[in-house]
Structure 1
Amino acid sequence: MTIRNLDSLFHPGSVALIGASQKPGSIGTLIAHNLVESGFTGDIFFVNPKYKEIEGRCVYPDVDSMPKAADLAVIATPPDTVPRLIEKLGKRGTRAAVVISAGFRERGNENGSRICARMLDAARPRLLRIVGPNCLGIMVPGDGLNASFGHIHPLSGKIAFAGQSGAVQTSILDWATSKAIGFSHFISMGNMSDVDFGDVLDYLAGDFRAGAILLYIENITHARKFMSAARAAARMKPVIVVKSGRHRESAHAAASHTGALAGTDPVYDAAFRRAGVLRVTDMLALFDAVETLAMSRPFHGDGLVILTNGGGMGVLATDVLMDKKGRLAELSQETTKRLSRVLPPTWSHGNPVDIIGDAPSGRYADALRILLEDKNIDAILIINCPTAMVSGTEVALAVVDTLAKSPVRSSPPGIFTSWLGIDSAGEARKIFSKNKIPSYETPGEAVRGFMQMVRYRRGQNLLMETPPNIPEAFEPDTETARRIIRQALSMGGQWLTEIEAKAVLAAYKIPVVKTFEATSPEEAAAISDGLSGFLALKILSPDIPHKSDIGGVALHLVPGRGVAEAARNMMEKISRKRPDAKIYGFSVQPMVNRPNANELIIGVVNDIQFGPVILFGQGGTAVEIIRDMEIAIPPLNMQLAREAMSRTRVYRLLKGYRGKPAANMQSIAMTLVKVSQLICDIAEIQELDINPLLVDENGVIALDARIRAISSSIPAQQRLAIRPYPRELEEEITLADGQKFFLRPIRPEDEPALLALFSSLSREAIRLRFLHAMKTLPHEFAARLTQIDYDREMALVLCDPALPSASPLYGTVRLAADPDNERAEYAVLIHGDWTGRGLGTLMMRRIIDYARQQGIGELYGEVLAENRGMLKICNALGFSKRHHRDAPELVLVSLPLQIPS
């Protein structure tokens, strides 16, 4: 839904417990005790007709007898009582509830599902928000709120935690308290009938109390909302997730526990990466990641140097680094020479930098000082093995002192430490903690912390990276592709024939080998007579998608009679193995001779949670055995396509080796972009395989393809987890003087053009537009303005109709809506040479129309009082105006939007 009324949930002024009890060990008793003992200063109302007093407080017989409506209600009564309670609470004015009770829709309980539906129906008229049912409860230590039956009061801190398993969360609470780790929020999600991870992420992203967000996820609901919320939150603070059910057996257990199907793990992996969320494998890694992100100073590369007084430990750390696909930094020649001057002759003369077991604190300091100055080094792991000769505490103090005195670099390396031992290392770890230097009990844990930072930074960079322009003019023949699919569906099947599938690909400008259809062996032979070279013959049947599995493919045939004989043999074999299959005939195609080519696969599968996802990897007949593949969440641009490619093993082969030329990477990425566009356009496509897709230095060509289609009544874009580029908003505009422009949504590729638009503005225009002087538009800011979430934001740009994708931008207007879609802030920017031509008014009208279509209730903005041009436009468009109470130089403008019925 929205974040509306979540303040009542997470920061209530009063709480009612329905089902409070005195029965020893009961949930109602535990929650009542926690509410009273946690230090909550607001009103607490206990409701139960069986008692007069609980925890020294008056007990009310029912909801109606409470002296006032509580902001938050906690319900611990049987499931069939909950819908009526929600209705009564809503009428009284309560706006949030935590339903502790189980027995709703877990394990396929049909009656429980009906009760859950009635509960939501009762909540909906007043937008009463519900956490649960079947949950542990919620805790907000900073407010003294413990509305749960947890056994420990959490400490107050800056970590927000939300998870689906109460058992996991109580274990985490126990562990975190023993480690003095505190929380801003501790939220048990339960069955997520209403409030889900998307809502919680939206809320916590804007709550200053939460410095980092940790999630324990078994499954998600509303994939598009989750992706939008996760992407927005990850740009503001670290979001770290443990996703259970990584393997088939545990995924089944998660489904049984939560009453929802868990999606496939590689798809979740791809979704988390796309959102900029850091995924870790277990709860220990989750909290290690928080400590690492909180303490480690930012670094930008992935080259690690290991500085150690124990060679064996350096080797073990290197092994872990290689296992996690990390990289040892290469020491420069100058660094090696300088180290040789200060270290014993027996030092390792390489990375790891082994400074020998008797290393005193001064030797550590000398080596560290040199390494800090090597710009090839992105991070340094300092390991100390305990010895009787040197105090680990002294070495720790030397490290801290060296770091404090090191010259300031524009991009200093990250620092990680691992002091081995228990008692001997305790004081050193306290020193590092006090100085905000991450410290780990083992070198392996330290390497894991380093790689978490590397993956986190890569994810953040991917969120902000400007993609290159699409290298070729790409205008698909969408109508032809739709017609082919409609005709195939009219025949009553789901699988298109190979020829139909290839025709769909060709309509999207994907190169395919020329393929001919024959209805009989004799016709296949006749077709072959007109071809040269070796031929491939395949059975043509919508019922046999995997042709080679049952002998439906014959290769290296010579044109002529041999083709007819092969066709007859093929038909006989298939009639025995698949007598039920509908046979249309055969496909005949020349075999492609590309000696330097690699076989790839590009596919599409419809994930139960995230909708269509794209697969890329090494292809061929052994694709299921090799299993070298990567999943990407559409829509894709060239940058995202290249990133997905780079995560496969075959990618290294594609770059060329031993005299074999590199493959045309651009053509592969472009094919991924075209497939992405295909599934963004055509909702009927449920499954697609291009296998093999041959690629060499000259480009790609599809040798075989299959497509499964199902009739669909929903728009293609609606099924995607991320809203694609809204092409329907494109239009050509003609001004009164005849000047033509092309109006379209902004694209991530527009960042250079946006920077050029900014550079056209005078200093005064920049100050009026951005409310303060700016000399340049930083990349991070420009990336956020161009890489928008079309589901929550919109930016329209004016460009040249002759070159709509590559021309300069003459103006831009944007809005950013709150998660509730109640209000949206606007901004408009016109090229310095085009001001005073009416473009500002024109673009404002377009964004107002768009806001109305989206159901946004109000458009607002902040305008400097001296910006008379903007205020004149606002006045003409019906905006109301008032001066800002705390900043009289600002005028607040707003326009209520009448939403058509």
Structure 2
Amino acid sequence: MSVRDLDYLFKPASIALIGASKRPGSVGAVLARNLFAGGFDGPIMPVNPHHTAIGGSLAWPDIASLPMTPDLAVVATPADAVPGVVADLRDKGCRAVCVITAGFGEGGDAEGEARRAALLEAAGPMRVLGPNVLGLMVPGMGLNASFAHRDPLPGDLAFIAQSGAMLTSVLDWATGRGIGFSHLVSLGDKIDVDFGDMLNYLATDPKVRAILLYIEAIGDAAKFMSAARAAARTKPVVAIKAGRVAEGAKAASSHTGALAGSDAVYDAAFRRAGMLRVYDMRELFDAVQTLSSELRRMGTLGAAEAMTGPGDRLAILSNGGGIGVLATDSLIEQGGQLAALSPATIERLNGCLPPTWSKANPVDIIGDAPGSRYSEALEALLEDDGADAVLVLNCPTAISDSMEAAEAVLKVAAGHKRPILTSWLGDGSAQPSRRRFVESRVPTYFTAEEAVRGFMHVVRYRRNQMNLMQVPAAKAEVAPDRDMVRGLIDRALAENRPWLSEVEAKQVLQAYGIPIARTEIARSPEQAEAAARGFSMGDLVAVKILSPDITHKSDVGGVVLNLTTPQQVREATAQMMERLSIEFPGARIDGVTVQQMVRRPKAHELIVGLNEDPQFGPVVLFGKGGKEVEIVGDTVTALPPLNDVLAQAVIEETAVYRLLKGYRDEPAVDFEAIRNALIQVSRIAADFAEIKELDINPLIADAQGVIALDARIRVAAATAAEADDPSARLAIRPYPRHLEGTVALQDGRQVAIRPIRPEDAGALQVLVARSDAQDIRFRFLHTMKDLPDRLAARLSQIDYAREMAFVAIDPDDDQAVIGVARLIADADGTQAEYSILLRKDHQGEGLGYAMMNRLIEFARARGIGLIYGDVLDENEPMLSMCADLGFKRAPHEDDASVQRVTLKLASDG
């Protein structure tokens, strides 16, 4: 349902409270008190048959007797009565309801589940918040429809939580520190309104500067990811996830299944969306403070700034050496680095600090430092380009005034854009200084460690945002042999085999361009000897048991290495098959595989895997491989689809990355080959719903490339929906290859047309540069000399779940784009805005009509009911084309120079 009618929840003109009460301490009484005391500018109508008035306002005996239809109803009646109450509200015409009451199957009881089903049926088209919620608060409009213990301050942070207790804890903490909120919403059991809906709604609210989430479970993963990616592009989104146990690893039959647990998948989802994840309540409070301060500017730099510098270089200024050392320890432990001060900065500090200062970062300005010493040193650090931010620390002493130091810092901060963090240690003596920092929106923390954590919050957020902006390089793609892979899967399913053989698994990898070690199947010792004779002289040979019932071969002695002669291969095969048939009498032993041993003494053993998460669908795993993979635990999980930039980010999240990039005389590995393996595994996930698990372990990597030495693939029958669209199970919709095609021009020539890809950012910039200035103004409704990097990235890295852009390819240059037709749907998917831009030398050929028709065809298939666009009055060619295609036109209500053109599609009924 998404954002439909959510304004009735969060911007109601009238409210009814069903279950209002006068009984002290009851939920109904607290709700009534909060509603009436909040300052809501509209009628509040209590409903209770036993009272004539509540809170000084006339009470109504039932819903039918209400003098008007409420926009929002808050329900706090016994659970058994709720479905009937909601049905009465629906019949009254109410559009949104907040169900405070619990008892709707939270514990899995059958009675509660029955109530839940009855509530859903009773609600019909109404939006439902809850049940089992604390309520909702919108301080800016005086709306407090909750039983919280205090009123929130107005502000620009939105906090959305499943837990009412978490919401009141944050409210209590923030109010005491002067931090206000735009929205506080308890989602409870999410029978209707969920995190995806809230993200979609808040992303477009200009009064919301940042969004905080407390998550226990998200529900619809695809909806959440689409909404989160859209929201995080416009404002910071911070999430804390409760319940971090890896439930999915309990019965895992592969390394990937054991390692890609649920918490790792949530971590991957938050990173992919460009969000910031925190791990406990203290971190969440720190994040609230960070986002309510000016430090967040560091995470929202312009494109040019965001692409340069690591962003994690911190300068530390302190009047005590010990506290500076503690801050440094915390910084390094969390992955940051000390800023290297320039010689010019050192010289400048020499001129304003005592001779005994530390002469390095951290900058210890000595315990007797007055405010002037703080200001002069801080000025120098803020003007050093080697520092991304400055942390200022103050320890209380008897010979210096901490408030004087604070005022000096604030005076300097007012004239600089570079972020400043502060930590004034102590209790009573530091409180006035901390209050001044809060008033000035300069982030301040009780300890140096908390300050460093706040800094690293922004660093991690900034890195995630940079990954959203970076554009992968355009390169030719080799089409995989999908038909061959389909045959292997179908044969295994027909034979009722859950696992492909090792040889079959390697054939799948080879079909997707992942290099494999030569491997032959032998059904007997004699066949193994013959296979070995086919290898090159001098090759070392490995023999591995071939059995669908023996999962980890090396654990049971099912692998023999370093065989040098065919006779050794025959003997090892005979001994292995005989021994394992005795030790595993129920196992089916099909023979062995004879494999060329790859001798690369300096290569690294890695793992690349694929697993299916019950919430997010397929996930990709990468990290340090080998037999000890689960003990080492150096792996990272990622959501497909992947591209070069995303794959590289996954690699860099691991500890083994420090070895892979080379050290001393050891060269770096071929990162392009590793990235390709990750990308191809993610493509396998999108192409075949039957592949449920995949392990490449080890994937050996060095400067010469990668080779898969061992591979396992588990398959299972796909559902009818999965078979129709295998990619639909992915939480992020991948590139829709099936929409590639051609369109015919007026002269009969065919032009290739396909969905846009992230790699097209550069081609879009060239298109804009080669387009007529008037065409650019017609497309963007304002003049533009060139397409900025950030906008090019945004226009090419689209969410295929809510947006589509078709690009027409130059027949004479397959790297050039000659036209773009775009469709951006609203969060409900009911309406979409179109735009189109054609290169001047390809106008008048019928390409515009062809691309618009492709957009209309796509919109109908998606169930979009209305296409609209804003066209300048003077853009006669576009208005003429729209008329020919059946669009209606009318003057735009906000701009007399613009026409709004609309096309109602047949699918809208």
TM score, norm. by length of structure 1: 0.95
Which amino acid in the other structure matches residue 857 of structure 1?
G
Offset of residue 47 of structure 1 = 2.7
| Aligned-partner Cα distance in 2 for 1:63–1:750 | 57
Question: Structure 1 residues 767 and 800 mapped into 2: Cα distance closer, same or farther (>3 Å)?
Answer: closer
Question: Is 734-743 or 54-63 further displaced after alignment?
Answer: 54-63
Instruction: Please state how far the C-alpha of 1:290 moved relative to its aligned partner.
Output: 3.3
Counterpart-to-counterpart distance in 1, 2:261 and 2:10: 29
Q: Tell me which residue corresponds to 1:833.
A: 841
User: 2:881 matched to 1:873?
Assistant: yes
Q: Is the 8 A contact 1:219 1:263 kept in 2?
A: no
Note closer, same or farther for the CA distance 1:677–1:249 as it changes in structure 2 (3 Å cut).
Answer: closer
Moved more, 347-356 or 113-122: 113-122
**Paired positions, count:** 882
- Alpha-carbon shift at residue 448 of structure 1 (Å): 1.0
- 2:899 is aligned, of 885, 891, 900, to 891
Amino acid at match of 1:628: D
Alignment match, 1:420: 425
Q: Is the 8 A contact 2:759 2:796 kept in 1?
A: yes
**Structure 1 CA distance for aligned equivalents of residues 415 and 894 of structure 2:** 43
Structure 2 match to 1:244: 242
DSSP-derived class of the 2:550 partner: coil
* Letter aligned with residue 515 of structure 1: T
The question of whether the paired residues in 2 share the 8 Å contact of 1:760 and 1:833 is answered with no
Aligned-residue offset at 1:249:
9.2
Q: How far, CA to CA, are the matches of 1:601 and 1:503 in structure 2?
A: 18
Aligned-partner Cα distance in 2 for 1:359–1:449: 25
Counterparts of 1:269 and 1:736 in 2: how far apart (Å)?
Answer: 51
Q: 2:486 aligns with which of 471, 479, 482?
A: 482
* Secondary structure in 1 matching 2:718: coil
- The alpha-carbon deviation at position 30 of structure 1 amounts to 2.3
Aligned position for 1:110: 110
Is the CA contact (8 Å cut-off) linking 2:34 and 2:145 kept in structure 1? yes
Return the alpha-carbon distance in structure 2 between the equivalents of residues 209 and 342 of structure 1.
44
3-state SS in 1 of match to 2:64: helix
Amino acid aligned to 1:237? K
1:782 to partner: Cα distance = 1.5
Query: 1:128 maps to which residue?
Result: 126
CA distance in structure 2 between the partners assigned to 1:399 and 1:433 by the alignment:
13
**Offset of 1:803 from its aligned partner?**
6.2
Equivalent residues in 2 for 1:670-709, closer than 5 Å: 670-709=676-715
Q: Does 1:507 align with 2:511?
A: yes
Shift of the 327–12 alpha-carbon distance from structure 1 to 2, 3 Å rule, reads same
The question of whether the paired residues in 2 share the 8 Å contact of 1:244 and 1:250 is answered with no
Deviation at residue 150 of structure 1 after TM alignment: 1.9
Deviates more, 1:528-537 or 1:635-644: 528-537
Match of 1:729 among 708, 717, 739: 739
For 1:159, which of 152, 157, 163 is the aligned residue? Answer: 157
Matches within 5 A, 1:60-79: 60-79=60-79
Q: Of 552, 556, 570, which aligns to 1:546?
A: 552
C-alpha separation between the residues in 2 aligned to 1:493 and 1:27? Answer: 58
Q: CA deviation at 1:386?
A: 2.0
- Counterpart mapping for 1:832-871 below 5 A: 832-871=840-879
Amino acid at match of 1:630: V
Which shifted more, 792-801 or 693-702? 792-801
Question: Could you say which residue in structure 2 is the equivalent of 1:718?
Answer: 728
Shift of 1:569: 2.3
- The answer to whether 1:388 aligns with 2:398 is yes
Aligned equivalents of 1:250, 1:718: Cα separation in 2: 21
Cα pair 1:49 1:62 within 8 Å, conserved = yes
Q: Kindly indicate whether the alpha-carbon contact (under 8 Å) linking 1:732 and 1:801 is maintained by their aligned counterparts in 2.
A: no
Q: Give the match for residue 571 of structure 2.
A: 565
Deviations, residues 469-510 of structure 1 (Å, cap 9, x unaligned): 24x532111111111011111111211111111111111111
| 1:257 alignment partner in structure 2 | none
| Distance in 2 separating the partners of 1:492 and 1:265 | 32
Shift of 1:698: 0.7
Rounded Cα–Cα distance in structure 1 between residues aligned with 2:71 and 2:227: 25
Change (3 A) 1:108 1:568: farther
Counterpart CA distance in 2 for 1:48 and 1:66 is 11
**What are the ranges of 5 or more consecutive residues in structure 2 without an aligned counterpart?**
251-259
Q: Distance in 1 between matches of 2:141 and 2:374?
A: 46
CA contact (8 A) 1:468 1:749 kept: yes
Alpha-carbon distance in structure 1 between the residues aligned to 2:501 and 2:711 = 9
Following superposition, the deviation at residue 50 of structure 1 comes to: 4.0
Contact 2:212 2:237 in 1 (8 A): yes
Alpha-carbon distance between aligned partners in 1 of 2:340 and 2:288, rounded to the nearest angstrom: 29
Q: How far apart are residue 462 of structure 1 and its match?
A: 1.3
- Partners of 2:541 and 2:596 within 8 A in 1: yes
Q: In 1, distance between residues paired with 2:809 and 2:247? A: 53
1:358-757 to 2 correspondences below 5 Å:
358-404=368-414, 413-470=418-475, 472-531=476-535, 532=537, 533-713=539-719, 714=722, 715-757=725-767
Distance 1:82 1:625, change over 3 A: same
Q: 1:332-343 alignment to 2 at 5 Å?
A: 332-343=342-353
Give a deviation string over 1:277-318, Cα, whole Å, max 9, x none.
111122332232233233124365211111112111110000
* 3-state SS of 1:107 partner: coil
| 2:253 corresponding residue in structure 1 | none
- 1:556 Cα offset (Å): 1.2
* Contact 1:518–1:585 (Cα < 8 Å) also in 2: yes
Judge conservation of contact 1:495–1:545 (CA < 8 Å) in 2: no
Query: C-alpha distance in 1, partners of 2:439/2:174?
Result: 19
AA matched with 2:182? S
Report the Cα distance in structure 1 between the residues aligned to 2:585 and 2:3, rounded to whole angstroms.
57
d(CA) in 2 for partners of 1:483, 1:190: 47
- Which residue does 1:265 correspond to in 2? 263
Q: How does 1:3-402 map to 2 (within 5 A)?
A: 3-124=3-124, 127-247=125-245, 264-293=262-291, 294-296=293-295, 297-298=297-298, 300=306, 301-402=311-412
Note the C-alpha offset of 1:122: 2.7
Q: Distance in 1 between matches of 2:248 and 2:644?
A: 35
* Displacement of 1:768: 2.2
In structure 2, the CA distance between the partners of 1:593 and 1:802, relative to structure 1 (3 Å rule), is farther
- The secondary structure found in structure 1 opposite 2:751 is strand
Contact preservation (8 Å) 2:18, 2:77: yes
Match of 1:776 in 2: 786
**2:47 touches 2:63 (CA, 8 Å); kept in 1?**
yes
Q: Compute the displacement of 1:251 (Å).
A: 13
Residues 740 and 800 in structure 1, CA contact (< 8 A), matched pair in contact too? no
Q: Percent identity?
A: 53
- CA pair 802-519 structure 1, distance change in 2 beyond 3 A: farther
- Cα deviation digits, residues 530-586 of structure 1 (max 9, x gap): 224221111111222211122211111233232222223222332343322222111
Where structure 1 has 5 or more consecutive residues not aligned to the other structure, the ranges are 253-261, 407-411
Matched residue type, 1:795: A
* Contact 1:602 1:693 (8 Å CA) reproduced: yes
Q: 1:534–1:405: structure 2 CA closer, same or farther, 3 Å change rule?
A: closer
Within the candidate set 750, 762, 772, 1:762 is matched to: 772
Q: Is the 8 A contact 1:75 1:82 kept in 2?
A: yes
Q: What is the alpha-carbon distance in structure 1 between the residues aligned to residue 853 and residue 622 of structure 2?
A: 43
Residues 576 and 152 of structure 1: CA distance in aligned 2, closer, same or farther (over 3 Å): farther
The amino acid across from 2:99 in the alignment is V
Report how far residue 196 of structure 1 moved: 0.5
The reply on whether 1:814 has 2:830 as its aligned counterpart is no
Report the CA distance between 1:878 and its aligned residue. 1.3
Confirm or deny: 8 A CA contact 2:246 2:261 kept in the other structure.
Answer: no
Determine the C-alpha separation between the residues in 2 that align with 1:710 and 1:250.
18
- Once superposed, what is the RMSD of the aligned Cα atoms? 2.1
SS of residue paired to 1:63: coil
Offset of 1:800 from its aligned partner?
3.6
